[in-house]
Amino acid sequence: MSQKENTSIGDAEAENLAKNWSNLSRFEQGQGVKDLLAKGRSMRGLAKKIGVSEATIRKRVDLANLSPAEREAVESGKASVKGTLKKVRRKRAASAPRVPTDPEERKKFVEAKAQLTLSWIAKEIPMDEQAIAKLPELQSAAREAILKHRIEVLEKAREQPFFEREAFGKPLQNSRVPLSRADPHKVIKRCKPKGEMGTTGPDHLNYWIKWFDNWASRIIADWRLRYHVLNRAIQLLEEEIQKPGHG
């Protein structure tokens, strides 16, 4: 199924959710929102389409993410929605990656996450050494073009309004492992967007931006640090271009 077809289906599902919103339970509303977020819809856009606040959308998604035991407690009246969600958010905050406050630690954090970002983008936009080897007079230009393409993706990701969005991707396979101790490469893999990438350049670009937004929102909790990480990754790629032979 093409990205255009996926978008059309998503639009129809959003219309249907908005139409039936008042007839659904809070859990059904949450599941509907969660499904649409996984297909690329934004919380802001869904809130506008349905006619509710973004805070309501976030609460419904939190309800959809409750464990079976937590949901049963809420539905049976043994626990309140407010109290349960408060516990869930406290647990989520405790498991989030630690954001360093010491300037030197922050610098190390940014450098490490910039290297992680470069590792990820290098796998998605690899250097095809075999193909490059067949272009003896154009090897330098070919490598530079690939590095510039990686820079373009990261620059577009940097333009996204991090502070206005929350991304919801696939959960970790072992939910008992705190995110702060999870293997970042596994987190990245689990946050890969559903569906096909598409066939055009813009399709690829949007796919990579969404993927970065998904995993970075989990591994780099502070959106300001995310911005610094992207700046550093772009700087390192630009430095690579300046090296003889372009790596």
Distance, in Å, from the CA atom of 124 to the CA atom of 8, rounded to the nearest integer, reads: 27
Render each residue's pLDDT in the chain as its tens digit; 247 residues: 444 445 555 578 889 999 999 999 999 999 999 888 877 788 888 999 999 998 899 889 889 889 889 999 999 999 998 898 888 777 766 665 666 778 898 899 999 999 999 999 999 888 766 665 666 666 677 788 889 999 999 998 888 765 444 433 333 333 434 455 578 888 898 888 888 888 888 888 888 988 998 888 888 878 788 889 999 999 999 998 887 654 4
What CA–CA distance (Å, rounded) separates 72 from 61? 16
Q: Evaluate whether 156 touches 212 at the Cβ level (below 8 Å).
A: no
**Alpha carbon distances (Å) from 155 to 9, 112, 196:** 29, 19, 23
Closest CA to 123 of 153, 97, 144: 153
**pTM to 2 decimal places:** 0.56
Residue ranges per domain, the chain?
A: 3-95, 103-246
Domain 3-95 CATH class label: mainly alpha
Contact 226, 216 (CB under 8 A): yes
